C-alpha cells in the first residue's frame, strides 16, 4: 500500500516540477508548483514527518503560494521569453548531467541505510510534540535566528516594494484638484479668517511642490 502511495506522490511531485519548468505562463507555473508541494507533503507523511508535512501544506502551499499568485497577477507575467539559444541547449544537458551524477553518488555510495527502510519506528517520531521540544531545547538558537530572519525579511519586503515619493510626478488630476474653485461656505481656514484666498496664497506650483516634494529633484528619477 505504501508503495502505491509512494509512486503516486513521486509521480505527482516530478510532474509538478516539470510543469513549473515547461509552462509558458508563470501563473500556470505557480499552479504546477502547488501540485508539486502537495505531492511532496504526501512523501513527507510516508517518511513519518507529520509536522513537516503539515507545515509544508499550510505555510508553503497556502501562504507562500498566495503571495506568488498575487505578485503574478500584479506584474502580469505575460509570455515567457525563453533564454538564448546556448542556454536553451546547455541547460537541459546540465540538468541531465547533474541528475546522473547525483544518482551515481547516491546509489553508488553503497551505504547500508539507503537500501533499508530506515530506523525502527519510535512512537511519536516527527510529531509536533517532539519537534517543538527539540526547537525549544537543542535548537533554540537557530529557532531565534530564524524568527529574526523572518522579521528582517518582512521589513525588507515592505521597504523594497513601498511606493516611493517622486517616482511619478504629480499628474494633471492632482493639480486640477488644487486649482478647482471651492464652493462658498465649505469651511476652509481662509473663509474663517475672512480673507481672500486668491490674493496672497502661494501659487499652485508652490503648493504642488510642497505637497509632493521637488518634481525635478534628485529623487525624481526613482528613489533607489
Partner 1 sequence: MAIGWYLTVSALIFAIGATGVLTHRNPLVILLCLELMLNGANLALVAFARMWGGEDGQIFALIVMLVAAAEVTIGLGLIVAIYRRQLPVDVDELNELQG
Q: Which three cell numbers stand for residue 2?
A: 505504501
Q: Which three cell numbers stand for residue 85?
A: 539559444
Q: Does 139 bind partner 1 (CB under 8 A)?
A: yes
Q: Chain-centre distance of CA 130, in angstroms?
A: 29
Of 49-88, binders to partner 1 (CB under 8 A) are 49, 51-52, 55-56, 59-60, 63-64, 67-68, 71-72, 74-75, 77, 80-84, 87-88
Q: Which three cell numbers stand for residue 41?
A: 507533503
Q: Does 36 bind partner 1 (CB under 8 A)?
A: yes
Q: Which three cell numbers stand for residue 8?
A: 503516486
Q: Does 141 bind partner 1 (CB under 8 A)?
A: no
Q: Are 41 and 57 in contact (CB under 8 A)?
A: yes
Of 182-221, binders to partner 1 (CB under 8 A) are none
- 35: number of CA atoms within 13 Å, CB side? 17
Which of 85, 123, 141, 158 is close enough to bind partner 1 by CB under 8 A? 158
Which of 136, 140, 152, 204 is close enough to bind partner 1 by CB under 8 A? 152
In this complex, which beta carbon is closest to partner 1, that of residue 92 or of residue 197? 92
In this complex, which beta carbon is closest to partner 1, that of residue 94 or of residue 174? 94
Of 86-105, binders to partner 1 (CB under 8 A) are 87-88, 90-92, 94-96, 98-99, 102-103
DSSP symbol at 52: H
Q: Which stretch binds partner 1 (CB under 8 A): 114-122, 173-181, 182-190, 208-216?
A: 114-122
Which of 8, 62, 73, 118 is close enough to bind partner 1 by CB under 8 A? 118
CB of 210 to partner 1, least distance (A): 24
Q: Does 174 bind partner 1 (CB under 8 A)?
A: no
Alpha-carbon distance 76 to 53, whole Å? 31
Q: Does 163 bind partner 1 (CB under 8 A)?
A: yes
Buried b (16+ CB within 10 A) or exposed e, 41-75: bbbbbeeebbebbebbbeebbeeebeebeeebeee
- What does the radius of gyration of the chain's CA atoms come to, in whole angstroms? 29
Amino acid at each position: 500500500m505504501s508503495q502505491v502511495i509512494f509512486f503516486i506522490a513521486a509521480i505527482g511531485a516530478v510532474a509538478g516540477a516539470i510543469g513549473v519548468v515547461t509552462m509558458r505562463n508563470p501563473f500556470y507555473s505557480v499552479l504546477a508548483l502547488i501540485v508539486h508541494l502537495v505531492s511532496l507533503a504526501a512523501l513527507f507523511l510516508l517518511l513519518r514527518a507529520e509536522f513537516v508535512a503539515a507545515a509544508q501544506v499550510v505555510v508553503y502551499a497556502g501562504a507562500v503560494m498566495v503571495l506568488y499568485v498575487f505578485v503574478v497577477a500584479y506584474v502580469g507575467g505575460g509570455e515567457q521569453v525563453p533564454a538564448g539559444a546556448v542556454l536553451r541547449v546547455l541547460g537541459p544537458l546540465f540538468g541531465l548531467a547533474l541528475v546522473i551524477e547525483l544518482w551515481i553518488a547516491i546509489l553508488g555510495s553503497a551505504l547500508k541505510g539507503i537500501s533499508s527502510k530506515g530506523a525502527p519506528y519510535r512512537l511519536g517520531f516527527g510529531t509536533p510534540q517532539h519537534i517543538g521540544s527539540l526547537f525549544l531545547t537543542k535548537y533554540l538558537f537557530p529557532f531565534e535566528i530564524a524568527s529574526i530572519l523572518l522579521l528582517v525579511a518582512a521589513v525588507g519586503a515592505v521597504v523594497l516594494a513601498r511606493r516611493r515619493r517622486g517616482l511619478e510626478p504629480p499628474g494633471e488630476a492632482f493639480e486640477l484638484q488644487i486649482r478647482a474653485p471651492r464652493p462658498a461656505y465649505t469651511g476652509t481656514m481662509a473663509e474663517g479668517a475672512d480673507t481672500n484666498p486668491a490674493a496672497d496664497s502661494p501659487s499652485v506650483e508652490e503648493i504642488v511642490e510642497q505637497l509632493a516634494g521637488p518634481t525635478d529633484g534628485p529623487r525624481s528619477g526613482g528613489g533607489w
